[in-house]
Structure 1
Amino acid sequence: MEKLQFYTNSVFDLLRQRQDPLADQAVTALVQDPSLITEINNWKVIPEVMPFNYPIELKSFFEFYLEKQRDYSETHLRPAQDFFEEKGDLYLAMLGFYSLPYCYAFADGAQVLVRSNRILEQIGERLGETASFVLEIFRPGAFSTQDKAYLVCAKVRLIHAFSRYFILHYAKDWNLAFGQPVNQEDMLGTNLAFSHIVLRGLAKMGATPSEKQYESVLIYWKWIGELMGIETQFWPTTTKEAFELDKLIRKRHLKSSEAGQRLVNGLLHFYQKTIPDPVLNSQAEGILSFFLGQEASQALNLKPGIKVPGEILGLVFDYSGRKNFGGRKNYKALKKSLQSQQRDQFGKVLEIRLPELKRT
C-alpha cells in the first residue's frame, strides 16, 4: 500500500516532464553518425565489448544491458514465461483488441502515435513488429543469457527516443500541454496496457488469471520496464496497485481526440481487411467496444459492443486459436504460426529495426 501514496496528480505531473536521458543521449549520437544505426540493426546480440569507435553515450547505453544480466532471476521471471506459454495466443489477441485501442483513448499519448506515418500507413507492419517484440521477450528462457531479448528491448527503447528527438526537433505543431513526448507517465501507461489491461481482458472473457499469475506478469513487466528506461519505483506489483495506477491515468488522460479516433479507425480498417475469422472480422468494432467499456469507446467514437456474454467471446477466440495451431497451443506453435502469417503477408518475418536515417 505504501506505493499508492505516489499515485497523485502532483507526482504524475512531474513524470509527464521526465523522459529517458540515457536513451536520448544515445540517439543524439546516432543522429550524428547514422552509419552506426545500420551496424546495430545487423547485430544478433549486444556485443560484450563495444566497438572502439562508438561514442561514449552509445557505449554507456548498451553497457547498461550487459550489466542488467547480473540482475536476472529465473525464480521471479520464469513464471510469467510459463503463463505466456499457456495463454500466448489469447495474450496477443488482447494486445490487438484491447491494449492498443485502449492506449488510443488517452488523448495526449495518442498525439505521439498519430505523428508516426508508419502507424497509420503501415499499420500491419507495426502490429507485426509489436507481436514480434512480445514473442521475443516472453520466449522461454529469454534474458537468462545475454541474448537477443536484451537487444530487442534496447532497440524499442531507442525507437522511443527517436520519436522524442524528431517530435522535439521537427514537429512544429507539438503542444507542450501534451507533456513531453514519450514521457515517463506515458511509458508507465503503455507498460500497464501490455500487462494489467491484457489480464483484465482475459478476465472479461472468463479466463481470469489467478492472483499468483497476475502478480507474476506484473513482476515480469517491471523487469521489462527497467530495460525500457522506465522509472520502476512507480510500477505496481500487486493487483490493487495496478488498479489504482490505471484509475489515476484514466482520470488524467482518457478523453476524446481526433488523434485517437484516427488511430482506432486505421486499426479497424486493417482488421476488417485481414482477419480471416468471419466472426472476429465482421464484429471487430463491437469486440473492441466490448473490451474497452463505455467511457473509452465513447472517446474513440466506437459503436456499443456485441451483446453476448464474455465467456462466449472467449470461446470464439479460443476456437480461432485452435484452428491456427491444431490444438498444440504452446509458444513454439504460436511463433511458427505468426511467422508464417508474416511471410505470407509481408514476404518476410518482421523484426524490430531502428529507423535508418538519410546521410547528409
Structure 2
Amino acid sequence: MDKLKLYTNSTFDRLRNQVDPLADDAVLALVSRSQWAATINLWESIPENFPVEFPPAIKDFFQFYLDLYDKGPEKTLKTGQDFFSREGDIYLGLLGFYSLPYCYAFGDGAEVLVRSERIVNQIGQRLSETGTFVLDIFKPGAFVTDKSPFLTCAKVRLIHAFSRYFINQFAKDWNPDFGKPINQEDLIGTNLAFSFIVLRGLIKLGKPINSDQIEQLLAYWKWIGKLMGVETDYWPNTAKEAFELDKLIRKRHLRKSEAGIRLISALRGYYRSTIPEPLLSRQVDDIFYFFMGKEVSAALNIPLNREIPREILNLIFKFSGWKTYGNSKSHQSIQRMMESQQLEQFGSLMKISLPVIKRS
C-alpha cells in the first residue's frame, strides 16, 4: 500500500484527536487501586496468569501482549538487533543530540513534555530511562527468546496513558488546540524520531546507510509502534514515505514555543555539566545545530557559534566510542557502560516504573 496517500492534513487532524483506548481504560482502573501498579512494577515479565483481583481493563491490556508472544517478525528483529550492536553507542548519542531536541521543536507536542517536571528538573534520570528503554528493546533475542521487552513496552505505553490522565484531570492550562495529550500523531512522530531521524543523523555523519537498512529499521520500529499503541496503518515502509511523513509533521507543527525553549535549555545545561568528553560538552549548541539545521535550530533559539565539519564531528563520535569500548563494542558492553554511569550519577539503576498514586 502506498502510504503517501494517507499523509494529508485532514488525516492527521483526525489522528491528533485519537489516543489509545486500551491503555487509557487500563489506567482508569490502575488509578483506582494504587497497589495494582505496585504489583506490575514487581514483574520481570508479563505473567500468563494475572492476579485474580485485576479488573477486565487491566487483564485485556496485558492479554494484548500475550497474544503477540509468538508473532514477532524474527528476521526483522534479528537484523535490527545486529544493527544496534554495531552502532548502539552512536545511536544513543543521536537520540540525545538529535531526536529528542528535534521533538522539542514541535510546539504542540512539547506542551505535553514540559508538563512532566521530571523532564525539566530530573532530566538525567529521564534520559537514562529512555536509554534503558532503547537498550531493552534492542537487546539480542528481544521479543523472541527474551520476552521481558514486551513488559517494557507495555509499561511505557501505560506511562503515556498516565500522562494523558493527569493532564486531562489536573492541567487547567491545557489548550484544546494542542490536540489530545500524547495523541496518535505525536506517537507516530516520536516513533519516527527514534528511528528515521537517527538514521538521518548517521547519514549526516557520513555513515553509508542504504535504502534496505532504512526499511529494515523502519520495520523494526513498526513492531515497536504496534506494542506501544501506535496506529501502524500510517507507519512508513520506505525511506520516501518516511521522508514525506516527517515533512508533513514538520510543516504542521514546527514552531518556536516557550515549552520547547525550556526543554532545550534543560537539556543543554545537563549536557554541559555531565558529559565527560570535553570535545562534546564544549560544543553542545554547535552539535545541535549540525544535526537539526537552521530552521529547527531557530525554533529552539539554538545559535551557531562555530560550524563543525562533518568529518570532525564523525571523528569526535568515533573517538569517544573507541575510548569507551575499544574494539569490543556490543550491546552488552554498551549496557554495562550505561549501568555504570547510572550507578555513579544516581546511586542506582534506572528502572521503568508505573506511577503509584498514594491517596491520603
The normalised TM-score by structure 1 is: 0.98
**Structure 1 residues 296-335: Cα deviation after superposition (integer angstroms, max 9, x where no partner):** 1000000026423212201101110111112211111111
The runs of 4+ residues in structure 1 deviating greater than 2 Å are none
Deviation at 1:288, TM superposition (A): 0.6
2-structure distance, mates of 1:313, 1:58: 47
**Structure 1 residues 174-195: Cα deviation after superposition (integer angstroms, max 9, x where no partner):** 0000000000000000000000
Corresponding residue number in structure 2 for 1:259: 259
5 Å-filtered alignment, 1:25-40, equals 25-40=25-40
Count of paired positions: 360
SS at match of 1:72: coil
Corresponding residue number in structure 1 for 2:55: 55
5 Å-filtered alignment, 1:266-305, equals 266-304=266-304
Contact 2:107 2:260 in 1 (8 A): yes
Q: Specify whether residues 80 and 198 from structure 1 end up closer, same or farther in structure 2 by C-alpha distance, changes over 3 A only.
A: same
Deviation at 1:146, TM superposition (A): 6.0
**Structure 1 residues 205-256: Cα deviation after superposition (integer angstroms, max 9, x where no partner):** 0113222211111000000000000000000010000000000000000000
5 Å-filtered alignment, 1:60-99, equals 60-99=60-99
Corresponding residue number in structure 2 for 1:321: 321
5 Å-filtered alignment, 1:138-149, equals 138-145=138-145, 147-149=147-149
5 Å-filtered alignment, 1:203-222, equals 203-222=203-222
Amino-acid identity (%): 57
Corresponding residue number in structure 2 for 1:166: 166
Range with greater deviation from structure 2 (65-74 or 111-120): 65-74
1-structure distance, mates of 2:140, 2:306: 36
The aligned amino acid for 1:59 is: K
Q: Which runs of 5+ in 1 are unaligned?
A: none
Contact 2:70 2:144 in 1 (8 A): no
1-structure distance, mates of 2:190, 2:218: 13
Corresponding residue number in structure 2 for 1:224: 224
SS at match of 2:149: helix
Corresponding residue number in structure 2 for 1:111: 111
Q: Specify whether residues 149 and 306 from structure 1 end up closer, same or farther in structure 2 by C-alpha distance, changes over 3 A only.
A: farther
Deviation at 1:76, TM superposition (A): 2.2
1-structure distance, mates of 2:264, 2:137: 26
Corresponding residue number in structure 2 for 1:17: 17
SS at match of 2:349: coil
The aligned amino acid for 2:286 is: G
2-structure distance, mates of 1:148, 1:314: 34
**Structure 1 residues 262-314: Cα deviation after superposition (integer angstroms, max 9, x where no partner):** 00000000000000000100001110111111111000000026423212201
2-structure distance, mates of 1:243, 1:50: 42
Contact 1:290 1:306 in 2 (8 A): no
The aligned amino acid for 1:161 is: A
2-structure distance, mates of 1:22, 1:205: 40
The aligned amino acid for 2:317 is: F
1-structure distance, mates of 2:219, 2:114: 30
